[in-house]
Amino acid sequence: MRLRSMQLIFIAGLMGLLSWIWTPTALALTQIKLSNISYHECPSELASGIVGSSGSNSASCFIVTGKAENSTRKTVYDADIFGRIYDANGDSTLQNRTRLGLIAEVPPGVSDFEFRITVPSNQPLPLQLKQFKAAGFSGRVRR
């Protein structure tokens, strides 16, 4: 009985030691710094026929652009963009929604990004873009 417990302790210790020496690569969440955030109206071919979420209200189309800084040495994939967008009165344009878009790939260094949003056309301009950030993965995420 004593020998069996010693074997079990030895095997557990060996497994613990091996897990420190060899570990598989993790798909850790990587933070991406966003800067120079701005927006402009969509080209007419993208904006035609857009309606709001209620189905009958008209909506305005905008392209949000900026710079994404990946300070790691690896490409980051599937980076979700989070932020808040307010109208000229300080009212939220996208109620209960902070995930705004996706950047498919962010190479090391600084790169450009853009994504499209639609807001109800009755919200006064200019839009206020606040608290933008992004986070992605160091490897491809299976979809």
CA-CA distance, 132 to 62, in Å (whole number)? Answer: 16
What are the Cα distances from residue 69, in Å, to 81, 133, 135?
13, 10, 11
pTM above 0.85, yes or no: no
Cross-strand bridge partners of residue 63: 40, 116
User: Which of left, alpha, beta for 23 (phi over 0: left; psi -120 to 50: alpha)?
Assistant: beta
DSSP alpha helix (H) spans, 22-133: 44-47
Predicted confidence at residue 87, as pLDDT, reads: 93
Omega cis (within 30) before 126: yes
pLDDT tens for each residue of 71-107: 988 899 999 999 999 999 999 988 888 899 999 999 9
